[in-house]
Structure 1
């Protein structure tokens, strides 16, 4: 069983007085990387608000829950000894009073949905967890649960007050008013005088309806006094719900009361007594708590709970009126970059600004909801056709076009929108929600800043994506990945000067799978970070093995994704891999695209300088296809420019392409950087590059990517004469 870290235990020992105020969180997670991410996120909260106990197995969790109570449980549903809803049921049975939040993959919806139905309080998508959002989310859900408990307690208090007023008249010391048999006022106590605005002397003998003026708080119509019923029916009666007392000066207060008949010694009814009290504050508090339980704490928009209720109502109304309902799922594009570069305070202000613009784009009868993180949902009730939803989507995209001034920064953000329509895309809240979510992912895949309607074939692709994601997780555990190496050739001498490591996936059923078929999915679900770490370690290990064999090894280039570069442990991970494999840093080259670098140029520059200080070589991959600032790139510590193969492909047949390639080669020389032309596949392309004095080429003209064993034969041959003889 995994326990608290040494550092956390020491914190507890040093400051025992803090333990009582900290929330105990039991983390049940078998993936060390996910567990560390969550532990680090909660450990970084101010004041150490959370004490995390981590276990990796369901059995350990059940044993821990059997010892004493736990306040919050973060439960992964894919444990070695417990899977899916069965794992949740066992934990819920062991800790029925704990606040359980299910941890799930970004596309795993079924198991979390069942868990919510059976008592889970919420679920968290692992791909969206970060050190700012997770503690806030935990504090929010714990506060929200407390709010709901308080709301129920307030409702019980209101009920109990009403019951006491009905059956124990003499024990109530609030406002007391009595009448005779004709309904004229005979008595008021001091509280009644204050609440009605009538002194006892002024009120005596006046009709009850004049002194005790009450109205229905909803209809604003005069309400019937319970005293008349008490007299007529000779029994205790209560005031109607949502009753408002109008004081003599017009001031209104919400009240609850009861009235009972007054008898003489012979049992004859002689009048009535009304006992009432002010419940304005209690009703306001109940209303506030109800609002907090159904609205997002940051933007004030309806939350997922309220959206589900309204969507269910909208579906019912649309069914009765033969209308349609549209659900728009919206996700901010690259919002994480803003949080990472400018801070979460700016990110929160941006979310509030976006929320305001979204509300301005819809009707008062529609609902804009914040789903969580940077996701919003718009519910369009009773529309005539899907075109109405398209019109709103266009309006939303246009509204986000204008820059937003946040904290002195001019921010440009876009949205990816997925749309589902009732009844074509689903007849339940669950199916409509899933359809819109699926369509939103396709909007992102189609370049972002657009909207996509759900189509049935998207489900097939979504299932395929989920299958690939699950298989990728297995591939990491079962070591199914391998690297191929493509040589980089000096075009003047024909010598091999380097190699690019290219990942392949050897699936036991599907055979060899190329990166284009799985890397995009790995990036979406966050698996690209552990996969990239494996690629880096394997490339360094292999290069070190060639050196140890006495071969004349060459530097190995490894592609780095944006998620890897932005990952907190990336720099430390590179240094550790170099140390553990023993590979000299000069034999490692990292390739990054222009877009990765320029998304957050300042942060990228700091990371690149740190890598250069380690001795690692750096290359700009796919040069010319991004949106970089050349003046900024000039200051970055790159060794190599790689001309994208889309330009190389046309150099022999397209004058513009040839001009671009010649310009990049000249630029590289002026910047004292090595230039590599990618995708060299023909004699004509090679001849042009040689005439332009391009230093290095890479492509099928020289060699396809080769397994490590085949590539080693090239190293044995002396790294030479790979350039066709007629061009040497």
Structure 2
């Protein structure tokens, strides 16, 4: 049982009190009640052990004399378990007070041994000290684990010494080169260190480090792979390699390049006879060729952020064709199937005939594994047919199993086994369909496809709408403007949360089809508001990362402003940190164009990304919006409060307007008002309003309830 008290906060210490007398448990709960202590009780040794198995406990206060299993036995069992071997134990007893009992208690693993009745002023400091000791022990354990991870990382680097490894600093200068890369480039280590890595890169062609994809991916802290790179050796030769580049932890300000020598692989392919890797009937890769092609892909994808997917195909109805019409007819069908499959795939996807009527497909570069479902559906549609072979009507279909790397297997054999199992699940489910090896993924794939279709239908059916959330000045409650927010009212399920459909609009680039309409809605509403509000009222519209990259963004906004006769500064675009810092050169140009047409620029969701404070100085911004999640933590996090106060002061000095999003409580409002925030937005002011209610908002807004 648990004591009747509030749920523990994150970071609370958990105390387990064990006593076979309920009145003693109640007393202990009352004595030990603190907001940062969470008390769990047990009335027997068995129940105590059950609790210890189910949750982490920081301290056990254990009665000695209990029926069935006494405290000494519980302590002995705890010390014998790795999970609880270091959990502190305080024995509390009224009867077992002899020196022998005390010695037995300490021998069984107790930290302390107290006699009932005990003095709370003695017990609570002991508990406090032991809990602090336990916290320190766990902190040390975490530090040890981090050190072990660092050691494992270094061991991994050493284990890859067969491949060339180069570490470069943030300017592209080589700071480390292992013996393998020195051998590949025929250049000694001391000659490599201190030189630019670009001195040795022939392909891809790069003009400068700051303009290179190497530097771009270093800044984005993601992985960059080049499968067909060429390096220059000391003798002027060319070395074909595969490059894998990844940023090291940010404090190291460096990037590691792993170089895989591809010359042996390419020479081997040139030497192999075509028959060794090719299926004689279809011209596709055979099993051997498939393994050679895919194992290299797996090596290159070991640390990739994108997914590699294996599809295992087995024809439905082929055995009947082969048995009834003969092998020649079966061969015609297999040739036809191979052609259909090739027509559905990209030239660089791997397609092989594994034998009989089984085919495999390997596709690399998916952003999410569910994309494989679309490919599978396309293959099923293309192969499933009714046609004549030798004058006989035949029906053919295909069942497909899908496996993803590395989730379904760490090597090719494991992936094929998983995909084969999933393929047979598809056959058992009725044939001519696909199955993911992970059934949960299978459901997600179907759900995502259904959602994507629903979004497309909603765009065609004009089921989206725009609502407007007010923004008011902190000082006097005067209306500053509105943020235009996209909403979707589904015909059968009702209102769909924006967090569900907006990322999908972005990923599928369907947001571009809505962009002009959203701009028009915001501009039209500002024109209508101009009849009842001052000319300095602002309507804000969000611009997604995809939209921000559009070269005609400024032109689209200019068109909307001209159509609805807006003045300079009456329309504002909200752009996320990620959009701005992804390509700073593009961002500067885009922001300059927006300012030239009189559109205000707001930095949205500040406080949840990785935007450098220097960008506030370098980027031309009019407004900064503190993210709702950041605002929610102000009152509970002194660090967040100090950071927010500093940002507000900095923006005031830079003449940047600060808007706090997601303000929901009077306490948040009072903090923001006392610390210089100029404008607030959130449920405390008003929920998003439709266009008609937005026009009448000032008449219904009670500023006095905020001013107290």
Q: Which structure ranks higher in relative contact order (CA pairs < 8 Å, sequence separation ≥ 6)?
A: 1
Taking structure 1 as the reference length, what is the TM-score of the superposition?
0.43
Taking structure 2 as the reference length, what is the TM-score of the superposition?
0.44
Structure index of larger Rg: 1
